[in-house]
């Protein structure tokens, strides 16, 4: 009897433990269920990326004699209906930490048992599975450094090759991949400059990264204009790359330590989210100061018209590319939560509507970290936007790249348009003084 491999955020054939186990054991039904209710709440940028990644996965499975079967509806009943139609004995899936994913896993286990279909969850979404390392007292690690030490000591499973052959049952209709209609119904704007989604382009990106710019990562990752980070976050978000394979691919190469530490940050946020599922809605820890309502400020921030170039450049990068440099994410988030004192949730929502890599564990975890309600050990640190701008974009290249209004201001002058004798007419005055340190409480 076949095994259903239920794909979700693991859209690849390489290093896919669930697919690997199923394919080694007989016929497989690779299945993706598009749930219109979930898609309506998702960002257009991500839906388009998902469509591309699914098309790529179907091609990869067909090249192995298989197929990607697509059904529309609610995941659990659709998976069980497909199990009944094919006589499948089990459903295999990659374990995930989001609220919705865990509810789905529980329902598959319970309803599957009633229907005589076994459910098994496999690793593959993180380098180290969320439950694999826990502090002595139980619960989850709240501070990164001790987590990292434990993470580095933890053994790794081997990276698995893609199966040579994926045998699928005959006569089962393949179903239609989601397309432009699904994209249209999503949230947020469509960014014009985004990379193509899918395992094949992702693997090409990984190769180009690890054989090239990775070696300078440690020195250049914070330089905004250098764009010297991997940009693999969306590929990891959709599971077109296995985080374990990315870590192993980098291991031992120059620059790898700093890069692999970032993958540990990703795992860290996932183990927090696994143990604190309220991360999307509730403060991880309370903050002293009250939040403020500032609809005008929030709108200016969203549009990249706060009058502070380093903030606006980040926000326009997000609109244009569905991506923002990590340093700019920290500064734009500090501006909103520590400067305007607008609740981090408003900011996280806007990021989530646009980011290709948008993921609750990472996005909300990082927002709370910046806002001072998360697991930062120094939640009251002060951020000086102007000093940060001069340090990480010394000659203003990043700012000019995204703000055509400032094209006429050479070098570091692009960071202080208000100080010009003749400030650019089409650029607004600053909403707050960026040379003042933005505090926490």
Residue from 151, 238, 351, 392 that binds ligand FAD (CB under 6 A)?
A: 351
Single out the segment in contact with ligand FAD by CB under 6 A; choices: 286-294, 357-365, 390-398, 421-429.
357-365
- Shortest approach of ligand FAD to residue 217 CB, angstroms? 7
If DSSP codes are grouped into helix, strand and coil, which group holds residue 58? helix
Of residues 65, 91, 66, the one with CA closest to residue 78: 91
User: Does 98 appear as a known binding residue?
Assistant: no
263 Cα distance to chain centroid: 12
Residue from 56, 249, 359, 405 that binds ligand FAD (CB under 6 A)?
A: 359
Residue from 206, 333, 386, 409 that binds ligand FAD (CB under 6 A)?
A: 333
User: Does 288 appear as a known binding residue?
Assistant: no
Instruction: Find the helix packing angle between 326-334 and 360-371, rounded to 10°.
Output: 50
Whether the CB-CB separation of 358 and 351 falls below 8 Å is answered with yes
Of residues 335, 350, 345, the one with CA closest to residue 302: 350
- Shortest approach of ligand FAD to residue 93 CB, angstroms? 21
- Our finding on whether 338 is near ligand FAD (CB under 6 A) is no
- Shortest approach of ligand FAD to residue 260 CB, angstroms? 9
- Shortest approach of ligand FAD to residue 383 CB, angstroms? 12
User: Does 229 appear as a known binding residue?
Assistant: yes
User: Does 358 appear as a known binding residue?
Assistant: yes
392-421 mask for ligand FAD (x: CB under 6 A)?
------------------------------
Of residues 363, 395, 397, 382, the one with CA closest to residue 434: 382
User: Does 217 appear as a known binding residue?
Assistant: yes
- Shortest approach of ligand FAD to residue 166 CB, angstroms? 28
Q: Helices (H) and strands (E) in the chain — how many of each?
A: 19, 5
- Our finding on whether 129 is near ligand FAD (CB under 6 A) is no
| Structure-token pair, residue 113 | 């048992």
**CA angle (323 as vertex; 319, 326 as ends), nearest 5:** 125
219-258 mask for ligand FAD (x: CB under 6 A)?
--x-------xxxxx--xx---------------------
| Structure-token pair, residue 300 | 């200016």
Q: How far is CA 216 from CA 176, 209, 233, 324, 364, in A?
A: 43, 11, 18, 20, 29
Tell me the binding residues for FAD. 217, 229-233, 259, 357-359
């Amino acid at each position: 009897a076949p095994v259903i491999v239920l794909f979700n955020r693991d859209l690849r054939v390489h290093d896919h433990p669930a697919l690997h186990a199923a394919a080694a054991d007989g016929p497989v039904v690779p299945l993706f269920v598009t749930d219109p209710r979930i898609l309506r709440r998702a960002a257009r940028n991500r839906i388009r990326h998902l469509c591309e990644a699914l098309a790529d996965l179907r091609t990869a499975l067909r090249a192995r004699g298989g197929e990607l079967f697509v059904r529309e509806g609610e995941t659990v009943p659709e998976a069980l209906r497909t199990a009944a139609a094919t006589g499948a004995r089990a459903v295999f899936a990659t374990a995930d930490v989001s609220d919705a994913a865990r509810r789905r896993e529980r329902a598959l286990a319970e309803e599957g048992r009633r229907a005589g279909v076994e459910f098994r969850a496999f690793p593959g979404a993180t380098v180290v599975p969320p439950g694999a390392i826990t502090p002595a007292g139980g619960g989850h690690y709240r501070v990164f450094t001790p987590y990292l030490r434990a993470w580095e000591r933890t053994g790794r499973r081997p990276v698995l090759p893609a199966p040579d052959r994926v045998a699928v049952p005959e006569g089962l209709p393949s179903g239609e991949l989601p397309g432009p209609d699904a994209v249209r119904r999503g949230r947020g704007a469509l960014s014009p400059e985004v990379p193509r989604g899918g395992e094949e382009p992702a693997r090409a990106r990984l190769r180009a990264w690890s054989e090239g710019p990775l070696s300078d990562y440690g020195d250049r990752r914070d330089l905004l204009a250098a764009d010297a980070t991997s940009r693999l976050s969306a590929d990891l978000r959709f599971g077109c790359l296995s985080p374990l394979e990315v870590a192993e691919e980098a291991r031992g190469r120059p620059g790898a330590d700093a890069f692999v530490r970032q993958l540990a940050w990703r795992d860290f946020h996932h183990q927090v989210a696994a143990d604190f599922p309220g991360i999307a809605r509730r403060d991880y820890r309370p903050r002293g100061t009250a939040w403020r309502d500032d609809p005008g400020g929030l709108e200016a921030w969203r549009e990249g018209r706060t009058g502070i170039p380093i903030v606006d450049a980040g926000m326009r990068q997000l609109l244009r590319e569905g991506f923002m440099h990590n340093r700019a994410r920290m500064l734009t988030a500090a501006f909103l939560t520590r400067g305007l004192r607008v609740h981090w949730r408003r900011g996280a929502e806007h990021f989530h509507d646009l980011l290709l890599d948008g993921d609750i564990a990472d996005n909300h975890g990082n927002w709370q970290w910046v806002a001072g309600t998360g697991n930062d050990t120094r939640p009251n640190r002060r951020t000086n936007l102007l000093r940060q701008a001069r340090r990480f974009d010394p000659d203003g290249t990043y700012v000019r790249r995204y703000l055509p209004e400032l094209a006429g201001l050479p070098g570091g002058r692009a960071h202080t348009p208000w100080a010009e004798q003749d400030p650019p007419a089409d650029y607004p005055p600053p909403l707050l003084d960026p040379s003042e340190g933005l505090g926490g409480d």
